[in-house]
Structure 1
Amino acid sequence: MGIQQGQPPVTSQQLSTPPRTNTADLFGDPIDSHPLWFKQSSFLSPDFDSESYISDLRTFVPFETLRSELQSHQSSLKHELVELINRDYADFVNLSTKLVDVDAAVLRMRAPLIEIREKILGFRGAVEGSLVSLQGGLRQRAEASAAREILELLIDTSHVVSKVEKLIKELHSVPADASNGDLHTTENGHVTNGISTQHSEIGTIRRETQSMLLERIASEMNRLKFYFAHAKNLPFIENMERRIQNASSLLDTSLGHCFVDGLIHKDANAVYNCLRAYAAVDNTKNAEEIFRSTVVAPLVQKVIPYTSSGVVGGSNGDELEEDYKQIKNLIAQDCTFLLEISSTENSGLHVFSFLANSILKEVVWAIQQGKPGAFAPGRPTEFLKNYKSSLGFLADLEGYCPSRSAVANFRAEGVYVDFIKQWNIGVYFRLRFQEIAASLDSALVNSSLTPIPKSDSDDGNMTLKQSVTLLECLDSCWREDVLVLSISDKFLRLTLQLISRYANWVSAGLSARRNRNSSSNPSFEWALSAAPDDFVYIIHDLDYLSAEVCGTYIPHVLKILNSCPPQVLNPVETSILQGGQSLKDLIPSVIDSIIETLVEKSNEELKQLHGIVAAYRLTKKPPPVRHSHYVSGVLRPLKVFVEGERAGRYLTREMKDKLIEGAAVKITGRYNDMAADIVNTARKTETSLKRIRQGAQRRAGASSDISDHNVSETDRICMQLFLDIQEYGRNLGGLGVEAAKIPAYGSLWQLVAPQDRQGEIRF
């Protein structure tokens, strides 16, 4: 319904209560401004949902506050609506007058629209009919075109078959070569130079003509194969299949005869044309097999005779080096001409692989039949020699490849891959591993160290058979007659295992010696029975081995692996350096073992300290004036060892000083412990006896200071120990050790020195 004309403007009281006045509060903000959480734009969103809106706000806005804000917003909207109506009141009134008789206007407009719709539907039907008719015509045209193509294909196929058959007849009409010798001999068996030259020229012309005709036939056969592949299911083609097979068979036979003839006479033009014919019909395998059986096989059998049963006819056993040299010469003489033809640039003959499928295949077959033992790794030395000779032979064959891509293709051939697999390098390495590792193990399982006699000029060399064996094994890993470069990583691992095995032999022996337990392992018995002088050999050899491994050995290995990139050589060098350092790190443990043995011997002398107590306990013996006789024997084992021949010959000054200092510290510590135990026990005993005596004297009424002026037993014991440690300190000085710098000696001095000597250690 419309708004009636003549009504007064709408007032705000007719819609709602007037909104709050838009006045500002004390802080300058409008009083009717909404809070930040009240977004008026949300109501204008097309997907506005009242329930979702209220559920989102209820978590932090009370219902009363929300209702108040909504009511305020509603009042504001009504007020704006009233203002809008009052502003455009005249337009609203005129709108009601323009809406008179609207239904009649709609009916008048509907009739032409319906008429236009009917015309459009009719035109659309006509267009669809024309489209269907056009598509049908196009389909018939396509079918006719396909039928025409098939017909043309069949006609071409028939023409090509007929052409091939005609060319084959022409091929047979070419004058045959008098291969039986008629062209080269007269009836009486005498050959003249003129007739021989004439016959040679005739043969060359015949072969070239025949090869060119064969290449043409091969080209047509290639077209025929294409046609046959695209229409092989058609009856017409199936009926012609026998003719095609006969033509293909005749082509193969004739092409083979021509190719053999060209190979025998080394006719480059005929061979070139035949190879192009073989490439055209995609029959490279036949060409490779013909070259193998016609040229390569007789050459190889001259060097490595064999029969179908594999009987060896050679005289040099299973060695291949000399055989390869002869085969290389024969290949250079009789096979180069074909290899050069097949590698002609832009000739399309790169599809042939005479190196792999003819030459290498025949050589591998000859070795397998005539010298099968060459592949057996049971004799490692001969096996490695044959393997390296074979790699050299392959490298020589690769020299005939005109490009890097040709080399890559040669190496990817199945014959090449199978030939490499014939050489079981894994078994070879296991045999070498057992040989080298068993050599070291047999030397390390001895129940005792095995010194090697040395002259005075050999002080810098190793002293034990076990160490010499280790160095020999390390050298064996990288010897030319042992190493296989392709598995050098395994030989590197074996090198590190050998070093680790020797280091473990030393460390396990030292551990067994400390624990006094061989653990039923005979390889530890040497450590239990070894004297301190024997360990000098181990120290010397460990130092020598470490210097050799970290010195000349690493450059030797890196020189062998010089073809490897730096990212490979760096870890190799680091790993060997760590192995050499692990040997050097054992030297302090060996020195500690020597020290423990020397300390135990010194401890036997220190046990005589208990004799001091016996000498002064409950006796009237006067105070001592000289040191005890046992003092000179405390450091005797250390002095004898240091001044011995082996220590003076094989130990450096630094090692000696370290050994003397370590032994002196431990012996002094034992001395201090035993002396402190004796003095403390003596003092406790004296205190107890004194208490008992004083009690007895009090009961007897005697004076308690009868013995106050006598020197007590403990004092006499301390006096004796003081004299002893002074002599002991002088003996330490004789070995180059300052006693005052040993903490245990300072404790010992404080324990037994008089009060007036406590401040300074001086003797």
Structure 2
Amino acid sequence: MADLRAPAARPATDIFGDPIDAQPLWFKKSSFLQKDFDPEAYVADLRSFVPLESLRSELRIYLSSLNVDLVDHLNRDYADFVSLSTRLVDVDASVSRMRAPLAELREKVSVLRGNIASSLASLKGGLNQRAEASEAREVLELLLDAFHVVSNVEKLIEALRSIPNDLSSTDVINLEKSSIHNGISLQNNETIVNPDKTRSVFLERIASEMNRLKFYVAHAQNLPFIENMEKRIHNASLSLDDSLRHCFVSGLERKDHEALLNCLRAYAATGNIAGAEEVFRTTTVSPLIQRIIPQKSSDVDGYGPSDDLEEDFQQIMQVIEAECKFFLDISSSANSGFHVFDFLANSILKEVLYTIQKGKPGAFSPGRPTEFLKNYKLSLDFLSYLEGYCPSRSAVTKFRSEDVYADFMKQWNIGVCFSLRFQEIAGNLDSSLAEPTITPVPDLLPAQANSQGLVLKQSIALLESLKACWKDDVLVISCSDKFLRLFLQLISRYSNWLTSGLAARKVHHSASDATPNTEWAISASPEDIIYVMHDVNCLLDKLKNEFLGNILQLLQSCSLELLDSVKQSILQGGKSLEDSLPSLLDAIIEAIVEKSAEELKHLKAITATYRMTIKGPPVRHSPYVSGLLRPVKAFLNGERIGYLTSESKAQLLHNTANRLTSRYCDLVSELVDTVRKTESSLQRIRQTAQRRGGTSSDASDNSISNTDKLCMQFFLDVQEYGRNLQELGVAVADIPAYRTLWQCVAPTERQAAIDF
């Protein structure tokens, strides 16, 4: 016998005494012994944090260890394994002895199974027959009940027909016997004597029976017995509807509370809700409404003076209060089960809508927005009046969910009305902004220059358009978002008109080559732009105070978050106007500077004078200096300067002085530099010529050069210019360009300090 055991090798250990080939913590042998072990899931779980190479290596090591364990088990029980075959002696005989009783047992089980299956089939057949018999019995009972109900209904209808209009004593006795026989108890003599109440009691009972009959018919459809009774059922239903209608109409005419209650219960029992609503509409509501709004005989369309609905709605509400309130109170009584009816919508509102469509179709025409909007708001008030008859919030919700309510609201095409208003309001502003010039309206000029009245036609058109968006005869609260958007678009349109015009003013020099709606800015004078700045400030004040407060008050029913968004949008629109103010002021400054700078052209003449003539040192300033600030003084002393705020005046004066001084400084610096370079070149040429001729230049060293004379003249001019600026209130020492100009022309000993 060969020994299959492999020599056991002692595993190596590390410095901590653990085997070097010890398996890692993530490799657990117990996982392979689980019943629901899935190799793919196992590998998928481990590969997220263990490399596949390491997993494969561990599996191979584990397989090797399993093979070693198997060999060990075989070697340990090898003798028993080998001797197993020697113990299996006469196995076939043993199997034959056990086969006979097993076959006998199988035969008995087969016979028993057959008997059980036969009994089970017989039992199922009996149960099916029992179920069929039970179902047939139920159908028969249903048919018998239906037959009894039909017969009872017919008897009740006959008894109902036998009720005379005026009951005698004999009729009362017969009616009592008939009612007892039919299962109806007449409680008191008042009910017996009043035929309407008696009929209503019978009708309520008949309706209850008809409701039962509908149930039976619904559960026994397509049966011959029911089909044979269809004619009787149909006749009974027609008789009930006709009698119920007459009794209901009689109760409405006499305002019989008990009779109406019984009739409404009968209508509710039969499910004929629409029938009751239609009867009330045609018999009670329609005559009342059509007396107020008679139908037109001619096919004349359009809005006319008679299409105003104010007086009509007032009369309709008065009629409802006088003639219909008692019935509406009955139909809305608590715990009555009459919530299935909606007489407000399907009777009153339906008739009002129909009558207006036939009698005053022009009331729904948005062609004349003012009249249309007036009628629309009156209709909303009328709907609110009808909702006042609703006993609960759920009743109001039901009223608003009715189809006739939706049809009524569809008649008012608010979208078309808003489109017409949009064209009207925006068109007025666009036509004003399209004018090529800005002209003040003399009649609207404010008495005081610093008042808050607008001056220009374009600004007045904007203000009127902004106000029109929130007028009572224009605004529709349900479209307030659209009107707010139009309000902001108008402001944006005016702001774009300003910015595009000012941008064109910087590029174009004549109005002929300007783009549309920008000619006004090119042809506008500084005084005209003052009016524009004044109007922008007025509009800003109105936006932040008057308009903002009014709009938030109109939308006070909205959430605080929405109101805050509205406020921010309006303030943002005002900011777009406010952002145009610096550009407007800059346009005024640029125009004044350009006009003042025309005097600077005399500087070149002064340069030529000193260069081409023998002129002595200057003793007084040049005449042009007095004209430099003449346009500024004329502008500040003008009549329209009062339209500017004090802050704008100060900013205008300071920026104008800065720009004019900067241009003055650039031109003087350029001229002085040119003259110095020219004189230096001439001096070098002269010295060269003198050296060639052997002459001396000492005689000319002490003379004053043309450059020095020119700087002396410019220094006198700059001093006078500074004095003129100070007279206007400008601190010349704070102007960097003036300090540069002073240092450019002042003598060396006077460059440190500016003094006159």
TM > 0.5 fold call: yes
Among candidates 462, 469, 473, match of residue 477 of structure 1? 469
1:501 alignment partner AA: R
- The answer on whether the counterparts of 1:268 and 1:341 sit within 8 Å (CA) in structure 2 is yes
Q: Which residue of 1 aligns with 2:330?
A: 341
- The 3 A distance-change label for structure 1 pair 252 and 31 is closer
Q: Hey, what does 2:691 align to over in structure 1?
A: 698
TM-aligned CA distance change 1:32 to 1:272, over 3 Å? closer
Q: Which residue of 2 aligns with 1:394?
A: 383
Residue number in structure 2 paired with 1:723: 716
Mapped pair 1:686 → 2:673? no
Task: Report Cα offsets for 1:668-698 as digits up to 9, x if no partner.
Answer: 1211221122122112212222222223223
Alignment of 1:243 onto 2:232? yes
- CA offsets, 1:21-63, max 9 Å, x none? 34657774547767999987899798789xx99xx99985899
CA contact (8 A) 1:263 1:271 kept: yes
The change in CA–CA distance for 1:36 and 1:688 in structure 2 (over 3 A counts) is: same
The answer for the alignment partner of 2:731 in structure 1 is 738
2:212 to 219, 223, 230: 223
Secondary structure class of the residue paired with 2:700 = coil
8 A contact 1:215–1:277 mirrored in 2: yes
CA distance in 2 between counterparts of 1:490 and 1:171 reads 62
CA contact (8 A) 1:595 1:663 kept: yes
Measured in 2, the distance between the counterparts of 1:248 and 1:59 equals 84
1:657 aligns with 2:646: no
Name the counterpart of 1:666. Answer: 659
User: Are the structure 2 counterparts of residues 395 and 32 from structure 1 closer, same or farther at C-alpha, using a change threshold of 3 Å?
Assistant: closer
Report the alpha carbon displacement of residue 635 of structure 1 after superposing the two structures with TM. 2.0
1:152-188 deviation line (CA, Å, top 9, x unaligned): 222222222222212111111111369xxxxxxxxxx
Aligned mate of 1:565, from 542, 545, 559:
559
Verify the 8 A CA contact 1:603 1:667 in the aligned structure 2: yes
SS in structure 1 at match of 2:455: coil
What aligned pairs does 1:459-478 form with structure 2 within 5 A after superposition?
459-478=451-470
Write the distance in 2 (CA, Å) between the matches of 1:357 and 1:388.
21
- Structure 2 residue aligned with 1:512, among 495, 504, 526? 504
1:556 is the counterpart of 2:530: no
Q: Distance in 2 between matches of 1:386 and 1:747?
A: 74
Deviations 1:454-511 (A, max 9, x none): 3238733222232223222212211112211111111111111111122122222212
Contact map agreement 1:627 1:723 (CA 8 A) in 2: yes
- Which residue matches 1:453? 445
Asked if structure 2 preserves the Cα contact closer than 8 Å seen for 1:22 and 1:30, the reply is yes
**Matches of 2:352 and 2:748, distance apart in 1:** 100
Q: 1:25 to 1:416 in 2, by over 3 A?
A: closer
* 1:532-611 mapped onto 2 (5 Å cutoff): 532-611=526-605
| Cα pair 1:377 1:424 within 8 Å, conserved | yes
1:450 positional shift: 2.6
Displacement of 1:206 in angstroms is 0.7
Distance in structure 1 (CA, Å) of the matches to 2:420 and 2:304: 27
Cα 1:433–1:60, aligned 2, differ >3 Å: closer, same or farther?
Answer: closer
Asked if 1:124 is matched to 2:113, the reply is yes
2:356 to 347, 353, 367: 367
* Cα distance in 2, alignment partners of residues 432 and 241 from structure 1: 61
Give the Cα separation in 1 of the matches to 2:536 and 2:118: 104
Residue 314 of structure 2 aligns with an amino acid whose one-letter code is K
Secondary structure, aligned partner of 1:617 = helix
User: In structure 2, what residue type is equivalent to 1:251?
Assistant: L
Where 2:612 maps in the other structure, the secondary structure is: coil
> Aligned partners of 2:205 and 2:522: how far apart in 1?
91
Tell whether the 8 Å contact from 2:504 to 2:514 is kept in structure 1 after alignment. no
TM-score normalised per structure 1:
0.87
Structure 2 residue corresponding to 1:435, chosen from 420, 424, 433: 424
Q: Is the 8 A contact 1:310 1:370 kept in 2?
A: no
Tell me the distance in 2 between the aligned counterparts of 1:315 and 1:18: 120
Distance 1:27 1:302, change over 3 A: closer
CA distance in 1, matches of 2:449, 2:707: 58
Correspondence for 1:281 among 251, 255, 270? 270
Structure 2: distance between partners of 1:122 and 1:541: 114
1:622 aligned residue (613, 616, 622): 616
8 A Cα contact 2:445 2:454, kept in partner: no
SS of equivalent to 1:335: helix
**Aligned-residue offset at 1:236:** 1.9
- 3-state SS of paired residue (1:345): coil
Q: Read off the aligned partner of 2:430 and give its amino acid letter.
A: D
Q: Secondary structure at the match of 1:423?
A: coil
- In structure 2, distance between residues paired with 1:547 and 1:214: 73
8 Å Cα contact 1:16-1:78 kept in structure 2: no
Alignment counterpart, residue 637 of structure 1, candidates 621, 631, 636: 631
Shift of residue 623 of structure 1? 1.9
2:198 matched residue in structure 1 = 209
Question: 1:480-491 counterparts in 2 under 5 A?
Answer: 480-491=472-483
Asked if 1:154 is matched to 2:147, the reply is no
Q: Structure 1: which amino acid aligns with 2:711?
A: C
Q: State whether residues 428 and 465 of structure 2, in contact with CA within 8 Å, keep that contact through their aligned partners in structure 1.
A: yes
The 2-side partners of 1:522 and 1:74 are apart by 96
Q: Deviations over 1:737-758 (max 9, x none)?
A: 2223222223323322222233
Does 2:489 match 1:500? Answer: no
User: Deviation string for 1:230-279 (max 9, x for gaps)?
Assistant: 22312222222112111111111111111111111111111111111111
Q: Are 1:546 and 1:580, in contact at CA under 8 Å, matched by a contact in 2?
A: yes
| CA distance 1:671–1:117, shift in 2 (3 Å) | farther
Give the letter aligned to residue 384 of structure 1: L
Indicate if the aligned counterparts of 1:377 and 1:428 stay in contact, CA closer than 8 A.
yes
Q: Distance in 1 between the 2:248 and 2:63 partners?
A: 107
The residue identity in structure 1 corresponding to 2:718 is I
Cα distance in 2 for residues equivalent to 1:362 and 1:640: 75
Q: 2:122 aligns with which of 133, 139, 145?
A: 133
The aligned runs of 1:267-346 (5 Å cut-off) are 267-306=256-295, 317-346=306-335
Equivalent pairs, count? 721
Decide which of 739, 746, 749 is 1:753's aligned counterpart.
746
- Following superposition, the deviation at residue 549 of structure 1 comes to 0.4
TM-score using structure 2 length: 0.87
Q: Is the 8 A contact 1:311 1:370 kept in 2?
A: no
Q: CA deviation at 1:98?
A: 6.5
Residues of 2 paired with 1:674 and 1:32: CA distance?
95
Q: Residues 38 and 472 from structure 1, CA distance in 2 versus in 1: closer, same or farther, beyond 3 angstroms?
A: closer
Q: Give the letter aligned to residue 464 of structure 2.
A: E
Distance 2:662 2:619 in 1: 25
Q: CA RMSD in A?
A: 3.4
Structure 1 unmatched runs, 5+: 1-9, 179-199
Equivalent-residue separation in structure 1 for 2:753 and 2:313 (angstroms): 88
Q: 1:110 Cα shift? A: 4.6
Note the C-alpha offset of 1:320: 1.2
What's the CA shift string for 1:508-527, capped at 9, x where partnerless? 22122222254555533322
- Cα distance in 2, alignment partners of residues 175 and 706 from structure 1: 154
- 1:82-93 correspondence runs (5 A): 84-85=76-77
**Identity, % of aligned positions:** 57
CA distance, structure 2, for counterparts of residue 175 and residue 695 of structure 1: 151
Could you tell me how far apart the structure 1 residues matched to 2:133 and 2:489 are?
A: 81
